[in-house]
């Protein structure tokens, strides 16, 4: 597609529910990042994929968070047993060419998660 | 762990004035990026700085990179209201393509 597409744009979950957030990156983009952005804060790194390989998941805040990119394109961020502190905007970004030259990220519009 | 620090975090300016935003980072890297975020919107790329001494300019904004000092600056010249937004710097962990962001500088330009 023309840009990075994220769905749903808005999600309200009751505490304890599981949620799944989807990211469809730009076709051909090798790198895919997930970030968590709390209100008024900068994006906090969650995890990074290069094709289907999850090269860094050090930013995932707990074992309730899980991300996958099984075929090296679409990625899903899953949050189990949601807590109120999980409320944030989850941003997905992709880029074309890692390791050489610029790694300019194209961001999706984000998925705003509110946990009640 | 790669850390990226910006200052100031909040900046209120009068139109027509100049100011500089600073971005420090903690590890070896020669790739520094600036992004802009408008309220309720996602981030958009502004500048890419890929070497020591790199300078890029777009309109009233100019970004520079000093890799030895691990410092980038974003200079605003003769600010106008349209520049009101939050500005983020971001750094690739060297040879790792692992992009980390600063906390952002929320800029408000007042008439």
Per-residue pLDDT tens, chain A, 116 aa: give them: 579 999 999 999 999 999 999 999 999 999 999 999 998 889 999 999 999 999 889 899 999 999 999 999 999 999 999 999 999 999 999 988 665 567 788 999 999 999 99
What is the C-alpha separation between A5 and A106, in angstroms, rounded?
10
> How open is the CA angle A75-B85-B35, to the nearest 5 degrees?
45
Length of chain B: 111
**So what's the pLDDT on residue A67?**
98
Q: Do B101 and A42 touch (CB under 8 A)?
A: yes
**Three-state secondary structure call for residue A16:** coil
**So what's the pLDDT on residue B87?**
97
Looking at residue A52, the DSSP 8-state letter turns out to be T
Please report residues of B whose CB lies closer than 8 A to that of A109: 41-42
Answer for the pair B51, B32: CB distance below 8 angstroms, yes or no: no
Q: Do A45 and B88 touch (CB under 8 A)?
A: no
Answer for the pair A33, B101: CB distance below 8 angstroms, yes or no: no
**So what's the pLDDT on residue A92?**
97
**So what's the pLDDT on residue B28?**
78
| Residues of chain B falling short of pLDDT 70 | 94-97
**So what's the pLDDT on residue B40?**
85
Q: How many CB pairs under 8 A join A and B?
A: 61
**So what's the pLDDT on residue A100?**
55
Quick one: closest CA in B to A58, which residue?
Answer: B1
- Answer whether B22 touches A (CB < 8 Å): no
Q: Which residues contact residue A13 at a Cβ distance below 8 angstroms, ignoring those fewer than 6 apart? A: A19, A82, A113, A114, A115, A116
Q: Do B99 and A103 touch (CB under 8 A)?
A: yes
- Answer whether B68 touches A (CB < 8 Å): no
**So what's the pLDDT on residue A108?**
95
Q: Do B50 and A107 touch (CB under 8 A)?
A: no
**So what's the pLDDT on residue B2?**
82
- Report residue A85 as tokens: 């502190």
Please report residues of B whose CB lies closer than 8 A to that of A99: 95, 97
Distance (Å) from the alpha carbon of B77 to chain A's nearest alpha carbon: 24
């Amino acid at each position: 597609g023309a840009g990075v597409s994220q769905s749903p744009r808005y999600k309200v979950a009751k505490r304890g529910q599981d949620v799944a957030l989807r990211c469809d990156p730009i076709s051909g983009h090798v790198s895919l990042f997930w970030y968590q952005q709390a209100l008024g804060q900068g994006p906090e790194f969650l995890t990074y994929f290069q094709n289907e390989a999850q090269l860094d998941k050090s930013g995932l805040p707990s074992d309730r968070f899980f991300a996958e990119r099984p075929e090296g394109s679409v990625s899903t961020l899953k949050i189990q047993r949601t807590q109120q502190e999980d409320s944030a905007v989850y941003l997905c970004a992709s880029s074309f060419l890692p390791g050489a030259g610029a790694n300019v990220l194209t961001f999706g519009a984000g998925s705003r998660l509110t946990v009640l | 762990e790669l850390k990226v620090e910006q200052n100031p975090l909040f900046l209120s300016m009068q139109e027509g004035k100049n100011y500089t935003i600073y971005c420090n980072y903690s590890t070896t890297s020669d790739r520094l990026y600036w992004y802009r975020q408008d309220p309720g919107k996602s981030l958009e790329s502004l500048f890419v700085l890929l070497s020591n001494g790199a300078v890029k300019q777009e309109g009233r904004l100019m970004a520079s990179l000093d890799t030895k000092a691990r410092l980038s600056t974003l200079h605003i010249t003769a600010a106008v209201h349209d520049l009101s937004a939050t500005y983020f710097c971001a750094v690739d962990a060297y040879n790792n393509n692992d992009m980390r962001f600063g906390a952002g500088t929320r800029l408000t330009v007042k008439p």
